Amino acid sequence: MSQMNIATLDLNLLKTFEALHEESSASRAALRLGVTQSAVSAALRRLREVYGDQLFVRTGRGLAPTLKANQLKPVVSDALNKCRQSLAMVDPAADQYDGRSVIIGLSDDFEIAYGRRLIDAIACAAPKLRVIFRQTHSQIVARDLMERSLDLAITAGGFAERLLSRQVLGEGGYACLADPASLAPGQGQIGLEEFVAREHLLVSSGGFIGITDEGLAALGLSRRVGASTTHFAALPHLLKGSGAVATIPAHAAEAIASLSGLALLPCPLALPRYPVELGWRTNPQTDPVVLKVREAIIACFAKE
């Protein structure tokens, strides 16, 4: 590693590092920065000298960050964001959000139900800010936040980690979706017996057992799951033309039914309600942009 200090470092190298990490491509990083690809390649060579590491290795899917690059990313981005904040202090009327992004972790049921409203609310509060939705769920959200791959997260819990803060946005329940062609004309609900008899589609991040199975087991009943998927967005394609039923969070069921034409049915099984929570890293010096987005999300859910 070469001897290096802040006096001799070209700080534009840090912008190149951030762009390479987020774009996973030298050509896309060049487009983002408004420079040539050869300039990005030259900057990467210099970065490798500075940090004594490959930083990015070529794969079939572009440039993959090394462990060192992943460790450097939050530090570099925090430093650049502090610089952006300083410019906003000098000229509050400037486009202080242009070029900034905030990463919000959520599962795709929340994205389907609330994504558009969140985009609009955040655009109103922070014009020109880019919102990045990234998949997470309650079992991994604490890790994702602590590893700084997310700025904020909306999940059904999972924020018990001591260094995280949370705020309850609301609570949710469950509803069912089915192909209306599999129902009798005018049928607006299914009884428990029919519910158990039907094939089921499970949406799960990896498990074989869902909350519906637990609810049925308490009654001495069980169901047959024909298939499972990790994405709620697949349900219209998987349910159409079948007699299967899916039991999912009501907010997603309502949004999917309104767009897909699937039948929205009340769940015939009493299932516990769950909290909808917003979580973030506890930090007295929170980035004002993240704070602005946090306030916009809270206000958006308060209108529910």
222-231 pLDDT, tens per residue?
999 999 999 9
Half-sphere exposure of 135 (CA within 13 A, CB side): 7
Place of tokens 């039991």: 247
Looking at the fold, whether 132 and 268 belong to one and the same domain comes out as no
Q: 107 is in which domain, residue-wise?
A: 95-171+275-302
Looking at the fold, whether 134 and 261 belong to one and the same domain comes out as no
Looking at the fold, whether 193 and 129 belong to one and the same domain comes out as no
pLDDT surpasses 50 at 56:
yes
Looking at the fold, whether 296 and 151 belong to one and the same domain comes out as yes
Task: Tell me the C-alpha distance between 72 and 70, whole Å.
Answer: 5
Task: Tell me the C-alpha distance between 253 and 246, whole Å.
Answer: 9
Cβ neighbours around 97 below 10 Å, total: 21
Distances in whole angstroms, Cα of residue 111 to Cα of each of 132, 154, 155, 191 = 11, 9, 11, 30
CATH code of residue 225: 3.40.190.10
Tokens for 271, please give them.
């299932």
Question: Which residue type is seen at 299?
Answer: A
Query: In the structure, what pLDDT confidence band is assigned to residue 1 with cuts at 50, 70 and 90?
Result: very low
pLDDT surpasses 90 at 4:
no
Looking at the fold, whether 219 and 159 belong to one and the same domain comes out as no
Give domain status of residue 150, yes or no: yes
Q: Which helix (H) or strand (E) holds 296?
A: helix 288-302
Query: pTM for this one?
Result: 0.78
Q: Give me the number of domains the chain comprises.
A: 3
Looking at the fold, whether 190 and 131 belong to one and the same domain comes out as no
Task: Tell me the C-alpha distance between 85 and 92, whole Å.
Answer: 10
Looking at the fold, whether 188 and 268 belong to one and the same domain comes out as yes
Looking at the fold, whether 256 and 198 belong to one and the same domain comes out as yes
Instruction: Determine what percent of the chain is predicted with pLDDT higher than 70.
Output: 93
Give domain status of residue 7, yes or no: no
